[in-house]
Structure 1
Amino acid sequence: MAHASALIHTLLFGDFYRDGVGAEIYLEFTNTRGPANTQIQIPLMDKNDTGRRSHYLTVQFSIPDAPAVDELVVALGAVVGGRPHHRIGDHYSDLTALGRDVENPAVV
């Protein structure tokens, strides 16, 4: 697991991926360790706006014959849009309702 994390959690890899998909924010990630057919979950979010909850999705799958003992699986997930009929608001509406500054929600 440490080797796979080292491959994907570098600025070099992250910048290539962000540039490739035209993203402006950080990459969401998760680490999973297990044998072949382990359930893999990839969290997704809007590539330019972390506050848009319509894009909070999770891709879930497994690969029946991988990884083998001497293999790593590195999986990337992407979608072309958010949920078509999402039922929750956005992060900005919540902050406004709480009386927080949207530009500085942690008040730092």
Structure 2
Amino acid sequence: MTPEIRKYVTFIEDTLIEGHKPANPPLRMAAIAAVLKNPWSGRFVEDLRPEIHAFAPILGQEMVTRLMPLVGGGDRVQAFGKSAIVGVNGEIEHGSALIHTLRFGNFLRDAVQSSEFIPFSNKRGGPGNSITMPLKHITQGGTRSHFLTVEFNIPDAPGPDEVLIAIGVATGGRPHHRIGDRYQDMEELGHDQTVRPDKG
């Protein structure tokens, strides 16, 4: 059993100037999406595991193999994320089934030497729907400089009986980031009992 993949689509964004000031170094964000036939479309399936076990490793390996050269290799990656959009004849659970499994995500983690949780978005939508993918730092989840969003769309995907899944990475944080991070806030606010240090 193998996934019926209609196409792969890649996205690259290079930020050279931000806030009227050159980005040094420039920030590259890159993503790859796979558009495939939804194996569960149009019916309720109680056990999704056979397709998860069969499809997720194939998709994870191939997508990571295609993505890493876009940024010059896994050692250049500082942030990552993933996303799924399910066509209207499917359930959001179907997209979740393909991206929320270690059989898929571990290929990306291994490529960038991370053991962190990968941020995500998943929803139902039609062709041209926006892929809005949150990113975070690959090892330091509270590093706000790397709270980024990759956003693009595919005009003809997903179709009603398709699933679109995507992974994305960034080579750094926002150019000229200067708002500090969650760890600094926790240290500073730890002495102020009027503000909860575990929020934000």
* TM value normalised by structure 1: 0.86
Looking at structure 2, the residues matched to 40 and 32 of structure 1 have their Cα atoms a distance apart, in angstroms, of 9
Out of 156, 175, 193, the residue aligned to residue 84 of structure 1 is 175
| 1:8 maps to which of 95, 99, 105 | 99
Please say if 1:53 is aligned against 2:144.
Answer: yes
CA distance in 1, matches of 2:128, 2:178: 32
Indicate conservation of the 8 Å contact 1:40/1:61, yes or no: yes
The equivalent of 2:154 in structure 1 is 63
Equivalent residue, structure 2, for 1:96 = 187
Kept in 2: contact 1:51–1:91 (CA 8 A): yes
Q: Percent identity?
A: 52
Aligned to 1:75: 166
Q: Which has the higher strand share?
A: 2
Matched, 1:33 2:124: yes
Instruction: Write the distance in 1 (CA, Å) between the matches of 2:106 and 2:131.
Output: 23
Q: Which has the larger radius of gyration?
A: 2
Normalised by the size of structure 2, how large is the TM-score?
0.48
**Which sections of structure 1, spanning at least 5 residues, go unmatched?**
none
- Measure the CA separation in 2 of the matches of 1:18 and 1:71: 26
Mind listing any 5+ residue stretches in structure 2 that lack a counterpart? 1-91, 192-196
Structure 1: which 4+ aligned runs deviate by more than 4 Å? none
Give the superposition deviation at 1:21.
Answer: 2.0
Shift of 1:24: 2.5
* Contact 1:32 1:40 (C-alpha < 8 Å) held by counterparts: no
RMSD of aligned residue pairs (Cα, Å): 1.5
Instruction: Tell me the matched-pair count.
Output: 102
